[in-house]
Amino acid sequence: MRTQGSMKIKEETAEEPVGADKAGNCRRPVIDPVIELTPGSTARPLAGLSGKVEGFLVSHRARFGYVHAFMAVVFLALVAIPVFFPFPADDDTALTNLQLLARFIVWGLWFPLMFLSVVLFGRLWCGLLCPQGALTEFMSKRGLNRPIPGWMRWKGLPFASFVFITVLGQLVGVRDYSLAALEVLGGTMLLAALTGFIYTKDRRAWCRHLCPAGPLLGIFSRLGSAGIDKNGGTGTSAACPTFINTQTKTASSNCIACMRCVNPASESTLRLKLRRPGREIEEIGKREPDIWEVLFLLGATGLALGAFYWTESDMYTLYRDFLGNAFIDLGYGSLIGQSGPWWVMVNYPWAGETFNWLDFISIATFMLGTMVAVMGALLILLISSALIPKEKLEYWKRAASAGYAYAPVALVSLVLGLGIMLFEPLGSFGKLLPAALFAAGAIWSVYLAVKIQGPRPGVLPNMLGIGLVAWLWYSVLF
C-alpha cells in the first residue's frame, strides 16, 4: 500500500500474468489499482467539471454497491409486484392502476432514459445504476470462476440475444402484460445472475458478451459527452469488469464507466474526460471502429422498425392473410388456429387478446424479414459509400466507420418509439417535441457522415441510407 496525501492506493498483483486476446482485450490483469479516496480529497488538484465529477465518483466508488442494491430492489418490484394486481379497466390510468403505473415507469421512463443517458454520461448507467449488471458482478464474486467459453466470445452473440429478446417480447406482449414483463425482464435478470455465478470472478461476462442492450448502449456511448480516456501516459492495467485492455483503450463502447481504472493521483491511469457530444464518432477511424457494432446498429434499427410496423401497417395484415391461406392450402388450418401458452405468445382470453400459431409465425417472420430487408439495404449503401475512401483505412474499417453516422437518428428514433407514451400527456407540445428531437437526430447523423467521410461523393450513399432510416421511422412515429 502506498499513500499520497489523503489518498491510499493499494496495488494488488494478480495471480496470473497479463494476457490480451487478439482483439487487444485484457483477460488477466497485472495490477488492479484499488483507490481509496476520502471524500473531498485534494491529493492532486482536479481541473474543471470533469475533475469534480471524477473525484466525486472515485471517492464514492465504495458506495456504488448501495446504489446497485437499491436499483435491483426497485427493478424487481416493478416487474414482480404488478403481477398480483388487477388488469387495468378501460378507464384506468397510471394513477389508478398499479399495472399501468409500472408500465409507464418501465417503458415510458426507465428504458428511454437509459438510452438517452449515454449521450450525457456515457455508460455510467451500466456502471452505476443497472440492476442486471450489478447482479451479474455480485454473483461473479461468489461463483464458480469458470473461464469464458469460446462460443460466448463470438461477436455476433449479443446481436442474437437482442433479436431473441425483442421478438419474444413482441410475441408475449411484454409492454402490455405484467406476466410477460416478468418473464422477459425477470428472465434476463436470472440469466445475468447465472452467467455471473458460472463465469469469471469480479467481472461482468454477461455485460460484455450476452446483454441484449449492452452493444446498443456501447455504440450510443460513442456519442456521449463523457468518456474514460488515457491521460497521455501509458495507461495502467486494471481489472476491468468488461475485459478491456486499459493500456490500449481508445473506444468507449465496452466501457461501463465503473471508474475502477481511474486514479486521480496518477498521471498514467485513465481519467474521466468531458468532450463534445459525437466527438468520438467524428474521429472514429482512430477509435477502434468495429464492423460488428455497425451490423448490430443496422440490424437493431431494422428489428425495432419491424416491431412497430407489425402493429401499425396494413402490410402486416396482408402478409398474415397470405400466410394463413398458404397454411390452409397445405392442410395445416386447424393447427395454426390453435393458441400456445402465455409464455410463448399472448394468451389472455379474459383481456380479449389471444394469439394463435399463425400470429406467432407471422409476427416473428415479419419482424425478422423487416430486419433483413432494412439491414441489407443499409449495408449495400454503406458498402458503396466505403468504395470511395477519405482515409487510407482497410476497406471494412472504412465501411464500419461510415456506419457510425447512423447512431444519432437510430438513437432518437428508438427513444421516441419506446417513450412515446411520455409525450402523450403534453398535448400539442407533445407532438412538437418528438418532431424537433427527431429532426435534430437526423441532422446530427448527416453532420457526422460528412465529418467521417468528408464532403466527397463517397458520402452520398450513406446520406441516402440516413434518409431511408429517417423516413422509415417518420412513417411509424408521426
CB nearer to ligand SF4: pick between 71 and 381: 71
Q: How far is it, in rounded angstroms, from Cα 199 to Cα 227?
A: 27
Residue among 25, 236, 246, 462 that touches ligand SF4 (CB under 6 A): 246
Other beta carbons less than 10 A from residue 16's beta carbon: 10
Sequence-distant (≥ 6) Cβ neighbours of residue 198 within 8 angstroms: 143, 144, 146
* Residue entry with cell 440492476: 131
By residue count, the chain amounts to 478
Q: Is 276 helix (H, G, I), strand (E, B) or coil?
A: coil
Q: Are 156 and 216 a contacting pair, CB within 8 Å?
A: no
- Nearest CA-CA partner of 168 in 363, 309, 376: 363
Residue among 257, 297, 410, 452 that touches ligand SF4 (CB under 6 A): 257
The least CB distance from residue 476 to ligand SF4, in Å, is: 25
How many residues bind ligand SF4 (CB under 6 A)? The answer is 28
Residue 280, C-alpha cell as written in the block: 468520438
CB nearer to ligand SF4: pick between 241 and 465: 241
Site for ligand SF4 in 130-169 (CB under 6 A): 130, 132-133
Site for ligand SF4 in 75-104 (CB under 6 A): none
Instruction: Count the alpha carbons within 13 Å of 373 in the hemisphere toward its beta carbon.
Output: 12
Q: What is the DSSP letter of 182?
A: I
Residue nearest ligand SF4, Cβ-based: 133
Q: Are 259 and 37 a contacting pair, CB within 8 Å?
A: no
The least CB distance from residue 161 to ligand SF4, in Å, is: 10
Q: Is 244 in the site for ligand SF4 (CB under 6 A)?
A: yes
Stretch that binds ligand SF4, among 86-94, 252-260, 297-305, 366-374 (CB under 6 A): 252-260
- Nearest CA-CA partner of 305 in 377, 228, 255, 225: 377
Q: Is 270 in the site for ligand SF4 (CB under 6 A)?
A: yes
Binding characters for ligand SF4, 284-323, by CB under 6 A (x = yes)? ----------------------------------------
CB nearer to ligand SF4: pick between 41 and 245: 245
CB nearer to ligand SF4: pick between 126 and 307: 126
Site for ligand SF4 in 172-201 (CB under 6 A): 192
Residue among 58, 79, 163, 211 that touches ligand SF4 (CB under 6 A): 211
Q: Measure the CA dihedral 321/324/325/331, to 10°.
A: 180
Residue among 126, 297, 402, 449 that touches ligand SF4 (CB under 6 A): 126
CB nearer to ligand SF4: pick between 270 and 448: 270
Q: Measure the CA dihedral 133/139/142/146, to 10°.
A: -90
- Nearest CA-CA partner of 72 in 135, 22, 17: 135
Q: Is 228 in the site for ligand SF4 (CB under 6 A)?
A: yes
Q: Is 213 in the site for ligand SF4 (CB under 6 A)?
A: yes
Q: How far is it, in rounded angstroms, from Cα 387 to Cα 399?
A: 8
275, exposed or middle or buried, with CB in 10 Å at 0-12, 13-18, 19+? Answer: middle
The least CB distance from residue 230 to ligand SF4, in Å, is: 10
Q: Is 261 in the site for ligand SF4 (CB under 6 A)?
A: yes
Q: What residue ranges bind ligand SF4 (CB under 6 A)?
A: 126, 130, 132-133, 192, 204, 206-207, 211, 213-214, 217, 228, 238, 240-242, 244, 246, 249, 255-261, 270
